[in-house]
Amino acid sequence: MGLIVQKFGGTSVADSEKIKNVARAVIKEKLSGNDVVTVVSAMGHTTDGLVKLASEITSKPSPREMDMLLSTGEQISMSLLAMAINELGYKAISLTGLQAGIKTENCHMCARILDINTQKIQKCLKDDYIVIVAGFQGVCADNEITTLGRGGSDTTAVALACALKADRCDIYSDVEGVYTADPRVVKTAKKLKEISYEEMLELARVGANVLHPRSVETAKLNKMPMRVRSSFKLDDLGTLIIGVDEMELNKPVTGLACDTSQVRIVICDIVDEPGNAAKLFNLLANENLSVDMIIQSYARHQKNTNDIAFTIAKSDIDKFNKIKDKINDILSASNIFIDEDIVKVSIVGAGMIDRPGIAATMFDTLAKENINIKMISTSEIKISCLVEKKYSNQAALALCKVFELDGANVADVKGDLPVL
């Protein structure tokens, strides 16, 4: 007998019929002879609804109260799922993050899991319960409720799987697996049978929101096998995420993602002398502002100045605006402008290591589409280009074609294209 940790996302538990469907899927796993721990997200768009409610009350909610509010979403779905399983004649018990022993850092709205005391879960499993755990939440010192950041239920599931030494962690969603690109944008994207932790981690970090990046990080660290599969097609094995040495790398590019959650900031005419970049990035760090892409332009010798451009999360604009004047004072920049009209298009593939020409092919493809590149950044297995937001889908489709990421089978995904 094994132990499987499963996670069902918001769309899988969006209404009572879907919760009953999940109850049947959970029981199916139990009947195959495994112990089962099931993590659930909040129903449908509940978390978005709660965020909106808070914004109707205040523009500056306290992070503690936001966590108190947002953690309620998962408590609704966990108890309803336990009831649905009981109704079908099986034993199930729901547990909050606190009850499940999930200890996090002392930080609200983006806490990392530090430790899980699995005693209570183990006891429930021994008593033959299916254990349902609220995703996305834990507690820090003093039992204050914390949340793990949007999409964090994936991380709850993987962290539980590692702590319980489960055989596998199954992430059930509204897609049949990990595709070469978001199947809502690229209808001809191909489903991957498997993908390495490294590639999945890069894809998740550059905007493929099918998995929370920290869930992949945790699985990679603990070598926990993970599957992404569909809640609505239970016999489909989905996509297996495994170590890179277990894979054949016969293609340079495995997947593509577009990220519209960033903004570009350009600081113009900073004097070209030692220490100015350090001053700028220290100011940003003191405000807890994470920076992604960075470019410093070639110095203009007549003026002895250069420009520094970087990207930050759109949600951090208020924090940046607070220190904008200070940056101007300290660096005497001629102008600081914020460009919100951007999308970061990235290609990812472990197979691009030691294969020259991939970057050239990417830039060529964008050029043929008449798409101007505003910024470029690379890592060993990733190339990202920042382009105007309106070109997001056009760039994705062209790059999928050139890197053979599309196929004949149209993905069976319901719903509309995301609004950019």
Q: Contact positions toward ligand ADP, by CB under 6 A? A: 9-12, 41, 151, 173-175, 178-179, 181-184, 208-210, 255, 257
Nearer to ligand ASP, 165 or 314 (CB): 314
> Closest distance between ligand ADP and the C-beta of residue 155, in Å?
11
Nearer to Mg ion, 9 or 101 (CB): 9
Which of ligand ASP, Mg ion, ligand ADP, none has residue 135 at its interface (CB below 5 to 8 Å by kind)? ligand ASP
- E strand spans, 105-196: 113-116, 130-134, 137-139, 145-147, 168-173, 194-196
- 143 burial type by CB count under 10 A (0-12 exposed, 13-18 middle, 19+ buried): exposed
Distance (Å, whole) CA 6 – CA 171 = 6
Find the binder of ligand ASP among 20, 112, 150, 319 (CB under 6 A): 150
- Name the phi and psi angles at 102, rounded to 5: -85, 110
Q: Site residues for ligand ASP, window 282-311 (CB under 6 A)?
A: none
The SS3 call for residue 39 is strand
**What residue has token string 């094995």?**
237
* Joined tokens for residue 314: 């759109």
Q: Site residues for ligand ASP, window 61-120 (CB under 6 A)?
A: 73
Helix 276-286 and helix 317-331, axial crossing angle in degrees, nearest 10: 150
Binding status of residue 41 toward ligand ASP by CB under 6 A: yes
Task: Report which of 81, 105, 84 is spatially closest to residue 94, judged by C-alpha positions.
Answer: 81
Nearer to ligand ASP, 97 or 135 (CB): 135
Which of ligand ASP, Mg ion, ligand ADP, none has residue 38 at its interface (CB below 5 to 8 Å by kind)? none
Which of Mg ion, ligand ADP, ligand ASP, none has residue 255 at its interface (CB below 5 to 8 Å by kind)? ligand ADP
The SS3 call for residue 60 is coil
Nearer to ligand ADP, 22 or 375 (CB): 22
Cα 102 → chain centroid: 20
Which of ligand ADP, Mg ion, ligand ASP, none has residue 174 at its interface (CB below 5 to 8 Å by kind)? ligand ADP
Are the CB atoms for 189 and 210 separated by under 8 Å? no
Nearer to ligand ADP, 194 or 307 (CB): 194
What number of other Cβ atoms are within 10 A of residue 296's Cβ?
Answer: 15
> Closest distance between ligand ASP and the C-beta of residue 258, in Å?
19
* Joined tokens for residue 27: 């029981």
Nearer to ligand ADP, 224 or 265 (CB): 224
Give the per-residue SS3 of 90-120.
CCEEEECCCCCCEEECCCCCCCCEEEECCHH
Distance (Å, whole) CA 292 – CA 386 = 11
Find the binder of ligand ASP among 129, 136, 179, 197 (CB under 6 A): 136
Site string for ligand ASP, 203-242 (x = CB under 6 A): ----------------------------------------
Which of ligand ASP, Mg ion, ligand ADP, none has residue 178 at its interface (CB below 5 to 8 Å by kind)? ligand ADP
Pairing of strands 239-242, 226-230: antiparallel
Give the residues lining the site for ligand ASP (CB under 6 A).
Answer: 9-10, 41-42, 47, 73, 135-136, 150-153
